[in-house]
Amino acid sequence: MWNRYTNTRQQLRKKLFYLCCSAVFVFCGLTAAHAQKTDVAFKVVNKVDNKPLEKASVILIRDRDSSFLGFGITDTAGKYRFDNLKLKSGTSFVVSSLGFIPVNIPVRHTDSSLIHRFVALTPDTNLLSEVIVQSAAAVRMKGDTLEYNTEFFKTMPNAVVEELLKKLPGIEFRDKDEIYADGQRVSKITVDGKEFFSSNPKVLLKNLPADLIKKVQIVDEKNTVATETREKQDIPKVINLKLKKAVRQGILGKVFGGYGTDKRYETGGLVNLFRDTLQVSLIGTSNNQSSEGFTMQDLNEIGGFGRSGGMGGQSGYNLGGYGSSGIPKKSLAGTNINYNFTKDIQLNVQYFYKNDHIRNEFSRVIDQILGDTARHIVSNGRTEHLSKSHQIHAGFTWKQDSTGYLRYNFDWNRNIDNNFNSNISSTSTTNIDLLNTASGLDNSHSTQNNLNTNISYNKTFTKSKIDINLDGSYAHGLNAADNYVDNITTQYVKGYIPDSILRHELSHLPTTNYHFGASIHKTINKKHMVMMGASYNNDLGHSGNDVYQRLSLLDDYTYTPGQSIKFSNENGHFNSDIAYRFQDAKSRFNFKAGAKYERYNLTNTYSDASIGVQKKNYNFFSPDLSINYKTVGISFSRSMQPPSSYFLSPVTDSSSNLYFQTGNPDLSPATTSNLSFHFNKYWTKKQFSVYSNISQRWSNNNIIGKSDIDEQGITRSTFVNFGHGSNTSVNLGINKGYHKKDYNLGTGLNVFAMQNKTPLYLNAKATQTTNQNIFINIHANGSYKEIIQLNGGWNINFNNSSSEDKTYKANKNHSFTTYFNIKWKPTHRLIFQWNNRLNSQSNPNPGQRTKWYFSDASLAYSFFKKENVEFRLSAYDIFNQNKGSYQYIFQNYIYNTQDLVQKRYFMLTVSYKFKKIGN
């Protein structure tokens, strides 16, 4: 009885197991049948005449709520194709075109890998069903404009424009927040046809409320003749937001303050106010650590600085960030004002004040190979740099219409610099333990004033298809300096006594520059264009100091005419060029052939009558050729580099008693020939790209330094024309991306290799040196929505130097960097960031690390309903291993340097963002 019960129970278990397996297989089969990836190709025609309908909408919707699952626009042949589409039951295709009855096509199961749909639309709009009416009204074509009705794309309360755009079919956000519409890059976003805040789209994305938007329109960027000559896929898109009510006034801003260990602090504020056509931004920041306080992204997004467009100003302004050398203390204050007199006339005014103080301590080691011996120079010192600057910019632009505009810029700046530098160095050789020692002290004060003004006019004549550009500029500057230089050198061979150079140098050096230029482009048709241009540039400068020198610490400074030789230098440069371009958009072939003529007039006038006046005239004629076919191109050009006035000056620079340098008035210009080949291919659907660039440069009549080093280690050098040189470089990149709804993945390989051959002239012996550099980067990144972002990679850098003369030994070094960064946002309020970098170098100096690990992290939490108050706890250099070490090799030199850098500290920062936008 018990056995029979057991057997029955086991049979029931087996049946239940098989039943579950069957259910799983059926479910998987149904899922595969109803959610398989299928290619669907449509062709839409007019039912009356059977002609293709261009710009018809093909939309995949979910039946129960009309949600958009896919979207496309037919081409000139009335065709559109969906690739790898997941077809499910309960969905339908809606095909519509303005003035025609939309057609609803339910999705049915099919085993075919490709479905062809031929759709004929009837020109009648009176029979629309409710669902079809809604779908057709949500997205439609109006001429060349694709228009979305925002009523059909619901967003959460308090949502901004970015959240709205992410819901629209055909619009996608890719890496680095780049926006694409219909597979083409979006160049800018406008509001009611006008730029709003700035040309940076992030201003709108992050700040403008979505509930103000009535319609979203997508059009091609218009640029008259340029549009006609560009291929369709190369023309960017413009997103225009049509508002329900005009935005009339508002305020955006950010203030923050933080304090940390080691007395580190940061504080600042940025406020942007706008009302109708006036926008005023105020900025102030101060810190004594590696933060810039505000980035240019902040200025563009919050301060509206990008709104000045091409008018210059602080669009490339350095806000006070620093490199790896020294401890900074930086303050900045300024304002930016934009005012639109009319929709076509705009004024931009900016003012900035900066106060910087950087303190550094350094250690340098230089090894110089001298055939059968070598010099080893060790120096240690400290520097302090204090700088104050005032900068004023005013820009005016007048856009006559879509074909012409006038721009005028005015810039003035005043810089006051105080520099202090002290160092002690010692020189030894392979045969002598101590050759000499030197101590230096440099204390300087300088003031520089610069004025620059320029005007440009661009005009396109649409009927004649002619583009003209006229531009002119004028600049004047004055640099005044007061400099004390004390150098004391002691030699330890042949009983050489200590030698001192104690100098007081005064300079008053004005500069003037003016420039005129004109160019004209004539488009004969879509395939042929002729281009001509000419320009003249004139530089007038002054060099040399009033030098007062004393031979001992007890003597007064005495004016030294032999060291006080001054000269003015005037350099005139005339340049003209003419070129013909052929371009066939269909075959994607273009060819450009041209020629360039240049003339340089150089005049140096010396205060020493025995030198007198130097005059040099150089003429140069060169071809310019480029050929491009699809993704491949090749180009060739030549150029000339005349010697600078400094190189031509016969005056000896003797400010150091270990290094004396004299110019050469007999120098000739160097010439260079350039040949380059490039390949650049991007597969949009596969998000795969390959690029490469190979360039070869040959130089003749190189201007190089000719040096002689005597047995006391004193170097005397001049400049000579000598030998040939060459440079070969290869740049290769392979990148693969994956974008699917909320996921972004990417990986890539970048390789840069360069070989540079230059002549070396040392101690009456000439040789050819070869420097080789190879840089390899392997990187990967990934993100899911805004929740998590990862990126990491590996860099390796090889640097080699060798010489044809085997008495100069080959030098090699390499360095590695591995990095990994993570940004995790588990909730809207909490953000965690962690950045890591591991560095290593092959030949560190004694006392330097072979490897060091740098890591910093921050944890931020936002408070209140609008999440506009943030507390951020950050840690810099968590493991206290930061090193300002650097090494490189060139010719017969090996340079090693280590600078004072910031070490570990922790900081708590509180920030508050505010905005109010009204009608």
CA atoms within 13 A on the CB side of 338: 26
* Phi (first) and psi of residue 314, to 5 degrees: -95, 30
| pLDDT tens, residue by residue, 293-340 | 455 455 545 544 444 333 344 433 444 334 457 888 889 898 888 888
* Phi (first) and psi of residue 645, to 5 degrees: -60, -35
Q: Does the pLDDT of residue 733 top 90, yes or no? A: yes
Cα separation, 255 vs 238, in Å, equals: 32
Q: Quick one: which H or E segment has residue 7?
A: helix 2-34
Bigger pLDDT: 667 vs 94: 667
What pLDDT band is residue 389 in, cutting at 50, 70 and 90? very high
Cα separation, 348 vs 351, in Å, equals: 11
pLDDT at 233: 53
Task: Determine the average pLDDT of the residues in 794-808.
Answer: 88
Cα separation, 521 vs 580, in Å, equals: 10
Q: Does the pLDDT of residue 226 top 70, yes or no? A: no
* Residue 56 CB burial class (10 angstroms; 0-12, 13-18, ≥19): buried
**Percentages of the chain per state (helix, strand, coil), in multiples of 5:** 10, 65, 25
- DSSP strands (E only) in 524-553: 528-543, 546-550
pLDDT at 710: 86
* Torsion 303-306-308-312 (CA) sign: positive
pLDDT at 163: 80
Place of tokens 């810099």: 876
| CB count in 10 Å sphere of residue 594 | 19
Helix and strand element counts for the chain (H, E): 7, 49
| pLDDT tens, residue by residue, 586-645 | 888 999 999 999 999 999 999 888 888 999 999 999 999 999 998 999 999 999 999 988
Place of tokens 């694409």: 180
Q: Does the pLDDT of residue 372 top 80, yes or no? A: no
pLDDT at 374: 86
What pLDDT band is residue 514 in, cutting at 50, 70 and 90? very high
Cα separation, 165 vs 210, in Å, equals: 9
Cα separation, 319 vs 170, in Å, equals: 37
Cα separation, 807 vs 372, in Å, equals: 6
Closest Cα partner for 737 from 671, 676, 683, 662?
683
Q: Quick one: which H or E segment has residue 18?
A: helix 2-34
pLDDT at 735: 93
Cα angle 292, 293, 295; round to 5: 70
Q: Does the pLDDT of residue 28 top 90, yes or no? A: no
- DSSP strands (E only) in 130-275: 139-142, 145-149, 171-173, 179-181, 184-191, 194-195, 213-220, 237-243, 249-260, 265-275
* Residue 396 CB burial class (10 angstroms; 0-12, 13-18, ≥19): middle
Task: Determine the average pLDDT of the residues in 194-213.
Answer: 66
pLDDT at 817: 93
Its pTM stands at 0.75
pLDDT at 310: 39
Residues 6+ apart with CB under 8 A from 275: 248, 249
Task: Determine the average pLDDT of the residues in 230-258.
Answer: 75
Residues 6+ apart with CB under 8 A from 732: 691, 692, 693, 749, 750, 751, 752
Cα angle 573, 575, 581; round to 5: 160
Rg for the chain, CA atoms, rounded? 34
Tell me the one-letter amino acid at 731.
N
Alpha carbon separation from 799 to 771, 812, 819 (Å, rounded): 7, 6, 21
Task: Determine the average pLDDT of the residues in 483-504.
Answer: 79
| pLDDT tens, residue by residue, 814-864 | 889 999 999 998 987 899 999 999 988 877 766 667 788 989 899 999 888
| CB count in 10 Å sphere of residue 628 | 17
What pLDDT band is residue 30 in, cutting at 50, 70 and 90? very low
The answer to which of 34-43, 133-142, 883-892 has the lowest mean pLDDT is 133-142
CA atoms within 13 A on the CB side of 856: 14
404-429 vs 139-142, strand pairing mode: unpaired
Percent of the chain at pLDDT exceeding 90: 34
Task: Determine the average pLDDT of the residues in 51-68.
Answer: 76
Q: Does the pLDDT of residue 578 top 90, yes or no? A: yes
**Mean pLDDT across the chain:** 82
The answer to which of 7-21, 139-153, 897-911 has the lowest mean pLDDT is 7-21
Cα separation, 200 vs 449, in Å, equals: 32
Give bridge partners of residue 893 from the DSSP assignment: 368, 890
Bigger pLDDT: 89 vs 12: 89
What pLDDT band is residue 765 in, cutting at 50, 70 and 90? confident
Cα separation, 510 vs 449, in Å, equals: 9
Cα separation, 556 vs 444, in Å, equals: 19
What pLDDT band is residue 552 in, cutting at 50, 70 and 90? low
37-46 vs 114-121, strand pairing mode: parallel
Q: Both ends of the chain: CA-CA distance in Å? A: 87
